[in-house]
Chains A and B, each alone.
Chain A
Amino acid sequence: MTAGATRPAGSVHGWVDHLRAGGTTPWLEWTDPGATDGSARGAVPGAQQLELLRRINLARESSAQPRGDHDRERTRLADRVLAAPAAGRGKADLPLAGTASTGFGARPVDPATVSPHELLRVASTLLADDLVALGPDPVRRSVARPWRRRFRLVGDPLVVAAVREHLLGRGRPEGGPRPFVVAVGGPLDDLLAHTWTQRCFEHGSRPWHDWLRFWRERDQLPARVDLDDSVRRWGGRRPFVRVVTDLDQLAGHLGVRRLPRARVPGADQAELARRVSAVVGIRVPVVERPALMRTLQRRMPDSGVGPVVVPAAEHEWVASSAERMARRLTRAGYPVVGDLADLAPRAAADRPGPAGPARVDGQQVLDLAIRMIVDPGWRTERSVER
């Protein structure tokens, strides 16, 4: 079958039924003309929804699924996919190539050619709805230890969020009277990547490159990355401030023996979270979004993709910004744990772990999204502490 031939409406509905039943035949290979005229049925979903469902079916075929309510669960998921809107201002729902057309509206397409970006618009809606239905994981708290050291954490948002949560669970909440302001630093390119990544898991963000360009063209640093400004914002005064660039020593300055290493989400995870966050923002009141996104951050499965990295074209700006920040911290005279030279961006060769991408690969993000839709483990398991 070619995209040029016109097919009866029954053929479209037959393909929809085929997909609902777990079928994986691509639209252009679908030859069944269909028995019904389909006029009494509802609107045909767009190519985005149909192709996503086909890809989900393909992924289900290749994954070990539990038996039992398998058929009912599959149909329920299929109906959700077909009804899910493609979030955001992308293309309208696209009609299928070869179907009868009025000559108006979007041009029909072969669903197999729909881009990962378009499929992700639907997938992120499904995952956002799953997340909202799951609800936020409870935050672990212990009775505050009276003898704890009072601290206020600023700096690297990824590390700070993880440490803050860990300490809260151990009876050491942030704040209190006259706290030490502890500014967590590191190579500025890492700080920028961590900040964008953490934003994706909070209120969402612009895409990585747009976000970076926003700050580079302003020649400013995001509030949480600007350590000097963060310390001043919290009223830090010299003896009660620590600028920590050596993370191995951070625990001691917070009054504990050890801290867990912060898990840095991969570029695909951050990008998927960014998209899911946008939909969650329209599903729940704004105050409820951070807790839900934290839950997603804790539960999102690993995929082995490295975190985003600052592209080489931005290194000069990052290096000069790091020098400027180091100068300001030196002039302020804050005690430094480590070395302010560590704020300089690192060469790619010096970076531990898998090399992250300078651009987020849409296909990797889509693969992760489909994996999360197919395998509900991330939402059915109990809260995981990382």
Chain B
Amino acid sequence: MSRRVLLHVGCPKTGTSYLQDVLFRNQPVLREHDILYPADRFDAHFLAALDLMTLPWGGIETEAVGAWDRLAAEVREWHGTSIVSHEIFARATPTQVERALASLGDAEVHLVLSARDLVRQIPAEWQENVKHRSHITYARFLDTIRDPGRESRIGSWFWAVQEIPDILERWGSSLPPERVHLVTLPPPGADRGELWRRFSRTFGLDDLPLDLTAERENPSLGVPETSLLRTINERVTSIIAPPDYRPLVRETLAHQTLSRSVASARLGLAPEDHAWARGLSERWIGVLAERGYDVVGSLDDLLGPEAGTFADPDSATADQLLPPALDAISALLVEGARLRAVEERLHDELREVREELDRARATTVYRARRKVVTTLEGSPAGRGSLDAYRRLRGRKG
């Protein structure tokens, strides 16, 4: 069997969480069919990406030591097809790409990039920034990414992971174009299974008995919910550390509470921004067509939908923010109550341990020995005697 590596390097917000979850949960089935998805935890390839790119990430990077080399070693040793997938690989520099490709050995490398139109990616990336502690307004975010100098951290990151021709140039310039697979996301309103069919075909998963239940997704938020979260960030980003922000704000508030409001208006682009994004997409489509990549789907998918009604998150009113705000308060109170119960249980356990200790110390002999020890500890000579005694007894305490 020939050795192949399918290297999926992006983009963010293109259904990657679902794909990676299916691959992670179905590892045994995949192995039976000579396909390796080497991951001992769901985020194994994320850690490998952090390691490859020397990318600190709110403390999580400390779990990434050596992760890329381990992943690459597993891939090199596998006899069949290996899949590596994480969307932040999209940001790798040319030097890091060289290192990554070299470490995969002599396998036939196929590059996979899943891509969605800019019209939907721009609002999605702003929302992702908001879910990662940012309180930049939507208008400012748009100004930032439209700055040709890409001077800001947000701007440089956005284009590094979303500029499709550049990502494919960085990752795919050393590969023949037929080994570069561009998977486009179907337009809005397409059959829900279409994206999976495109992934399945690209990764050679057709006809495999995979469990496709959606266990892990990265749900999107409505306009008032995102606006509320951004406003909350203004208050809390500077005083809540990332390890606390992740479970309390991103998980409890954003993913488990605010994302449930499916009736809220969805975020889009204002007419002028929409025209700019579409113009840019047209240029990209022209360049990509010339490069001759294997396109799974259609390059026309990258043009994006027509402009719809624009709901501006920067001018959400107090009335619009009130319902999600009440949901947020309720969710945090429930979470607070859950944590109080955990704390109470720990106090109970500690109390029990102390009571057992007190019972053990309640004997006359113990009290007499304690008095002797206390007296001896009051002087250097006494401390020396105690130390010598403890050494003879072979204990420290």
Query: Knowing A88-B55, A91-B150, A107-B149 touch, does A214 contact B98 (C-beta < 8 A)?
Result: no
Q: Tally chain B residues at the interface, Cβ within 8 Å.
A: 46
Chain B CB within 8 A of A44 CB: yes
- A177 engages B65 (CB within 8 Å): no
Chain B CB within 8 A of A45 CB: yes
Cβ of A133 to closest chain B Cβ, rounded Å: 15
- A87 engages B150 (CB within 8 Å): no
Question: Which residues of A, 8-55, contact B by the 8 Å Cβ criterion?
Answer: 42-46
Cβ of B263 to closest chain A Cβ, rounded Å: 35
Chain B CB within 8 A of A89 CB: yes
Interface string of B6-17 (1 = CB under 8 A from A): 000000000000
- A45 engages B56 (CB within 8 Å): no
Chain A CB within 8 A of B157 CB: yes
Cβ of A4 to closest chain B Cβ, rounded Å: 15
- Report the Cα distance A255→B62, complex, angstroms: 39
Chain B CB within 8 A of A138 CB: no
**Nearest chain B residue, comparing its CB with the CB of A217:** B239
**Complex contacts, A278 vs chain B, CB 8 Å:** 56
**Complex contacts, A144 vs chain B, CB 8 Å:** 387
- B148 engages A282 (CB within 8 Å): no
Interface string of B158-176 (1 = CB under 8 A from A): 0110010110011000000
- B166 engages A88 (CB within 8 Å): no
Chain B CB within 8 A of A148 CB: yes
- A282 engages B56 (CB within 8 Å): yes
**Complex contacts, B62 vs chain A, CB 8 Å:** 281-282, 285-286, 289
Question: Which residues of A, 285-329, contact B by the 8 Å Cβ criterion?
Answer: 285-286, 289
**Nearest chain A residue, comparing its CB with the CB of B379:** A147
Query: Knowing A177-B373, A282-B56, A286-B62 touch, does A104 contact B166 (C-beta < 8 A)?
Result: yes
- B377 engages A178 (CB within 8 Å): yes
Q: B94: which of A44, A86, A88 is its contact (CB, 8 Å)?
A: A44
- A93 engages B94 (CB within 8 Å): yes
- A85 engages B239 (CB within 8 Å): no
Chain B CB within 8 A of A83 CB: yes
**Complex contacts, B386 vs chain A, CB 8 Å:** 146
**Complex contacts, A86 vs chain B, CB 8 Å:** 54, 93
- Report the Cα distance A103→B241, complex, angstroms: 39
- B169 engages A102 (CB within 8 Å): yes
Cβ of B160 to closest chain A Cβ, rounded Å: 5
- Report the Cα distance A344→B126, complex, angstroms: 44
Chain B CB within 8 A of A125 CB: yes
- A92 engages B156 (CB within 8 Å): yes
Query: Knowing A93-B94, A177-B397, A178-B374 touch, does A281 contact B387 (C-beta < 8 A)?
Result: no
- Report the Cα distance A86→B156, complex, angstroms: 14
Chain A CB within 8 A of B198 CB: no
- B64 engages A85 (CB within 8 Å): no
**Complex contacts, A106 vs chain B, CB 8 Å:** 150, 156, 159-160
Q: A104: which of B165, B380, B381 is its contact (CB, 8 Å)?
A: B165
**Complex contacts, B183 vs chain A, CB 8 Å:** none
- Report the Cα distance A125→B387, complex, angstroms: 47
- Report the Cα distance A86→B170, complex, angstroms: 17
**Complex contacts, A281 vs chain B, CB 8 Å:** 56, 59, 61-62
Query: Knowing A106-B156, A147-B383, A281-B62 touch, does A88 contact B148 (C-beta < 8 A)?
Result: no
**Complex contacts, B380 vs chain A, CB 8 Å:** 147, 149, 255
Query: Knowing A104-B166, A107-B150, A281-B62 touch, does A87 contact B239 (C-beta < 8 A)?
Result: no
- A85 engages B54 (CB within 8 Å): yes
**Complex contacts, A91 vs chain B, CB 8 Å:** 150, 156
Greatest chain B CB density within 10 A among A104, A149, A214, A282 is at A282
**Complex contacts, B239 vs chain A, CB 8 Å:** 214, 217-218
The 9 A-B residue pairs whose C-beta atoms are closest, nearest first, are A146-B387, A43-B94, A104-B166, A147-B380, A93-B93, A147-B384, A146-B384, A105-B166, A85-B54
Interface residues of A (CB under 8 A from B): 42-46, 83, 85-93, 102, 104-107, 125, 144, 146-150, 177-178, 210, 213-214, 217-218, 255, 278-279, 281-286, 289
Interface residues of B (CB under 8 A from A): 50-51, 53-56, 59, 61-62, 64-65, 91, 93-98, 148-150, 153, 156-157, 159-160, 163, 165-166, 169-170, 238-239, 241, 287, 373-374, 377, 380-381, 383-384, 386-388, 397
15 contacts between A and B (CB under 8 A): A43-B94, A88-B55, A89-B157, A93-B95, A104-B287, A147-B381, A150-B377, A177-B373, A177-B377, A210-B238, A214-B241, A281-B56, A282-B50, A282-B55, A282-B62
